[in-house]
Amino acid sequence: MYIGRFAPTPSGPLHFGSIITALASYLDAKQNNGQWKVRIDDIDSPRIVEGAESLILKNLESLGLFWDDKISRQSENIQEYKNILEMLKGKNLTYNCNCSRKQIALSNQSDLNEPIYNNHCRGMQHPLSNKSAIRLIADYKSMQFIDRTQGPQSTDINNSAGDFIIKRSDQLYAYQLAVVIDDQLQSVTNIVRGTDLLSSTIKQYYINNLLNFPEKTYMHIPIATINNRKLSKGNGDKVNNNNFSLVLIEGLKFLKQKIEKNIEDASPREILKYAVKNWDTIPLQQIKDIELNPNQRVIADNAHT
Ligand SMILES: [Zn+2]
């Protein structure tokens, strides 16, 4: 059975970019007669804003995006992250790293935003301190998977082969480890999310394999941009519109879906029913980002205009 998910960080209300991810993952799950689950990614505590979780859930309900099963939260999974980290340690697959950001940047041999670590601390047996990061020994040079819209992905394409952090120096579990465990705990089979996460997917794919979890299917959809910048908090950070039908229609236009005139004024429920039936991922192939149209910019309520 298809089980999809939407996993927002409660750092604020949904913005237009996150609505697109919610919408695409919902439509894909429902067209495949699957379940659509919601998880609140709430362990990155510096980013958490109080009250954001209930705003996000209210936004989803207003849009008619009702979830299956109970809401899950990363904060409920901490013990499981700990168990798996201990298991990896027991297999000598981790090491403590005390490198500073500056050292890592200097050793970087990649032109990507995310530096490639040169495995400097591997084998050094640093004692664990409360300032150490923990890295996973990752021999994943020949990994590859097929993304449903972005095609074949491999470490060669992403140029990202280096031991990577699974527990951060601020002692929070890293996204790469947490997301794999979270998805497994929710029995997720299909992951639909923005292309901003495409380059790190190979790491999650590697961990998923290493832990012998069933393989997941990935589809990365275009991310919303304004003036070539990713839509994010402070740059269109809330949906300033009570016309939820319009928000859905503009979301569908962004996702290059067919829209018939008579559906534009329908209720969110009717729009979603129509959109599930007509959901088509082919127009999204090989597209990494899409500039918002003027209507979509209004919905996104660009804070700078
Ligand atoms: Zn190091």
State the distance from the centre of ligand 1 to the C-alpha of 176, rounded, in angstroms: 18
Q: pTM for the complete prediction?
A: 0.92
State the distance from the centre of ligand 1 to the C-alpha of 97, rounded, in angstroms: 4
Which tokens belong to 80?
């499981």
CA distance 183 to 204: 11
The predicted structure's pLDDT at residue 45: 83
State the distance from the centre of ligand 1 to the C-alpha of 98, rounded, in angstroms: 5
What class has domain 78-177? alpha beta
The predicted structure's pLDDT at residue 304: 33
Q: Read off the DSSP letter of residue 173.
A: B
State the distance from the centre of ligand 1 to the C-alpha of 44, rounded, in angstroms: 22
State the distance from the centre of ligand 1 to the C-alpha of 189, rounded, in angstroms: 34
Sheet holding 35-40, edge to edge: 3-6, 35-40, 72-73
State the distance from the centre of ligand 1 to the C-alpha of 218, rounded, in angstroms: 31
The predicted structure's pLDDT at residue 108: 66
β-strand pairing of 229-230 with 223-226 = antiparallel
The predicted structure's pLDDT at residue 236: 47
CA distance 186 to 71: 10
* Closest CA relative to residue 175, chosen from 150, 192, 197: 197
What class has domain 3-75+191-300? alpha beta
The predicted structure's pLDDT at residue 258: 93
The residues whose Cβ lies within 5 A of ligand 1, an ion, are 97, 99, 120-121
- pLDDT tens-place values along the chain, 305 residues long: 999 999 999 998 888 999 999 999 999 999 999 999 999 999 988 889 999 999 999 999 999 999 999 999 999 999 999 999 999 999 999 999 998 877 777 776 655 556 678 888 998 888 888 889 999 998 877 789 999 999 999 876 655 668 989 999 999 999 999 999 999 999 999 999 999 999 889 999 999 999 999 999 999 999 998 887 887 655 444 555 578 999 999 999 999 999 999 999 999 999 999 999 999 999 999 999 999 998 888 887 643 32
Cα separations in angstroms, 56 against 16, 170, 261? 12, 27, 29
- The domains of the chain are located at 3-75+191-300, 78-177
The predicted structure's pLDDT at residue 132: 93
State the distance from the centre of ligand 1 to the C-alpha of 79, rounded, in angstroms: 26
Q: Read off the DSSP letter of residue 171.
A: S
State the distance from the centre of ligand 1 to the C-alpha of 279, rounded, in angstroms: 46
Tell me phi and psi for residue 266, to 5 degrees. -75, 170
Which tokens belong to 26?
């919902």
State the distance from the centre of ligand 1 to the C-alpha of 137, rounded, in angstroms: 12
4: left (phi over 0), alpha (psi -120 to 50) or beta: beta
